[in-house]
Amino acid sequence: MPSMRAVRYHGPGDVRVEEIEEPRCGVGEVKIRPAFVGICGSDLHEYFHGPLTIPRAKIPITLGHEFSGTITEIGAGVTLAKVGDRVAVKPNLVDGGCVACLRGWSNCCRNLGFVGFSGDAGGMSDFVVVREEQAILLPAGFALDLGALVEPLTVAWHAVNRCSLRDARTVLVVGGGPIGLAVLLVLKARRVETVVVAEISVQRRELARTLGATCVIDPQTEDVNSKVRGMTMGMGADVAFECSGAQAGLDTAVTGIRERGTVTIVSLFVERPSVNALGVVLGEKSVMGAVIYEDGDFEAVIEAIWSGKLDPKALITSKIRMEDIVERGFQALVKGKDQHVKILVDIAA
């Protein structure tokens, strides 16, 4: 079999571009030539603190779960996909037999995995093979760099779907990183009247303004709770999204909502946070989680981008070669996180 390049995870601080065997296309599968691959916060967690969700027994594995590309080969039994189709890849892997899957909540699968983490493939490679149903068709002419943003935008889309926005006039987004800004874009697409973003980074606050935030707050210099209550006649936000992954951010989200308001936790916490349970009880507040996406969310996000309701181009702050993944990818996102939101790996570069 011919060989190909792949970004391989060997352990914390150890990611290498290596030559590995090109994958075969099996029954019901499609082979894809990835075009652009996003570096996710979960990739960073694995690089600096892992392995966390990556199974040790599978190391080394090929990274990359936010990606788009073009189908180059189809296997036997493939019925809809065609060679030449542009696709965004839905990377989640589920067992299909656990209680959550049987109830139709496959995003909460008890054995949830991902291409690029626990599977045998990843998008940061010259070729990748996935099941046909994981290759979500993009309209002809859909920009492939935007196609790599579909997966993180779908996480935000699902998070917004999880809570009712009916009668919600003011929404607080805590954390203006990639997911927080994606949530902002989805909220603007849903025509939410007032969206407040709390973020410590100057550059990300400016980007939040550019993307349409009604009000942007620096929680290091301003009291977010007081500011939001001042905007809402003392009530607080109707809904808050916790996208910072920090204890202070969760505290801000819970205190920033009104009585019977809702906090949706989207971020993944490295350390277990605490919740002000008394404040939740006395205010009859709701605190819920949102994990990845459900069936139909990918298609909905693709349609929203294609129709112009979502315009995520500004989230792309850099494009790099596969060979620069460590220095201009992982290291840049940590050392220069104020300058970057989404770095894409251009596989063809």
In a domain, residue 295? The reply is no
Q: For residue 26, what is the domain's CATH number?
A: 3.90.180.10
Of the chain, the percentage scoring pLDDT greater than 90 comes to: 91
Question: 240 has which bridge partners?
Answer: 172, 263
- Confidence (pLDDT) at 334: 86
CA 157, 161, 164 angle in degrees (round to 5)? 140
* Same domain for 159 and 144: no
- What are the pLDDT digits (tens) for 105-132? 999 999 999 999 987 799 999 999 999 9
* Same domain for 242 and 166: yes
Whole-prediction pTM value?
0.95
- 45-49, 71-75, 129-133, 241-245, range with the lowest pLDDT: 45-49
Question: Token pair for residue 241?
Answer: 């999204």
Q: What's the number of domains the chain is made of? A: 2
Peptide bond into 23 cis (omega under 30): no
Range of the domain at 342: 3-149+312-346
Sign of the CA dihedral running 252, 237, 294, 106: positive
CA 309 – CA 144 distance, rounded (Å): 18
Asked whether 258 and 232 are in contact (CB, 8 A), the reply is yes
Of the chain, the percentage scoring pLDDT greater than 70 comes to: 100
* Same domain for 12 and 109: yes
In a domain, residue 333? The reply is yes
